[in-house]
Amino acid sequence: MNLSVIIPIFNEVKTIQTILARVLATGRINEIILVDDGSKDGTRALLATLDGRQGIRVILHELNQGKGAAVRTGIAAATGDVILIQDADLEYDPRDYPVLLKPIEEGLADVVYGSRFLGGPRRAVMFWHMIANKMLTFATNILYNTILSDMETGYKVFRREVLQGIVLRANRFDFEPEFTAKILKNKACIYEVPISFNPRSYAEGKKIKMKDAFIAIWALLKYRFVD
């Protein structure tokens, strides 16, 4: 099973080398696609030294377009049978790759979500952020008749063929609800597994804002009835 890891990046010069080392240490990767979304903090100069080494490919967006746009660029460039989305910060731990990949390897799932709310270890911060995540997941379950515990998780792993016939358009953080809505409407088999989670604060560089929750709600409603 060839695995492509997509890492969308925006101003992550402090963390990119650490997360790359952790991804490579898993020993499971066939290619790593780094999509820089217009960074201005020195990230791009660092990425230039990594391109072509250890299965790493670097793709540059000249202008910042958003996480969704970077992920879509990565998906279009990926060659693996299975694609895994990995954030460039240190919130998600690549040591969870074995548990994320297992349902796909065993033929049980087309898509695996790493849930932050199924009992895995996590840093105890960001209460209101957790409430927003749970509300968005609850809305997803009502609208799409499912029982997810963490729709907004950044850890999404899927077989390439899951996206056949699906057009993704999201440019920003509305990627998560759009992806979820469309694969649910396409009857893909989703498994959730527990993961560890070490959220960073806004002071530490967290980028998603409360306004993105309202955008996500709109996306869930829109894609329930159109597209």
pLDDT of residue 224: 94
- Contact between 15 and 88 (Cβ < 8 Å): yes
Residues 226 and 181 in one domain: yes
Q: Does one domain contain both 21 and 130?
A: no
Q: In the 8-state DSSP scheme, what is residue 194?
A: E
Say what the pLDDT of residue 202 is. 61
Q: Residue 84: in which H helix or E strand, if any? A: strand 82-85
Q: Mark whether 77 and 166 lie in a shared domain.
A: no
**59, 89 in Cβ contact below 8 A?**
no
Q: What does the DSSP assignment read for 89-102?
A: SSSS-GGGHHHHHH
Q: At what angle do helices 211-225 and 175-185 cross, to 10 degrees?
A: 20
Residue 7 bridge partners (DSSP):
34
Single-letter residue type at 180: T
Nearest to 92 by CA among 7, 149, 181, 190: 7
Max intra-chain CA distance, the chain: 47
Residue 201 confidence (pLDDT): 62
Q: What is the pLDDT of residue 213?
A: 83
Total count of domains within the chain = 2
User: Is there a single domain that holds both residue 43 and residue 117?
Assistant: no
Point out the domain boundary residue: 90, 125, 158. 90
Q: Which domain, by its residues, includes 132? A: 93-227
CA 190 – CA 112 distance, rounded (Å): 6
* Residue 126 sits in the same domain as residue 183: yes
Q: Which amino acid is at 127?
A: F
Question: Do residues 22 and 128 both lie within one domain?
Answer: no
**Whether residue 188 sits in one domain with residue 113:** yes
pLDDT at 112: 98
In whole angstroms, give the CA distance from residue 172 to residue 132: 17
Handedness of CA 30, 94, 108, 149 (dihedral sign): negative
Q: Which two tokens stand for residue 121?
A: 């270890």
141 plus 227 within the same structural domain: yes
Mean pLDDT per 10-residue interval, the chain, length 227 residues: 96 95 96 97 95 95 96 97 96 97 97 95 81 94 97 96 94 94 96 92 64 88 89
pLDDT of residue 113: 98
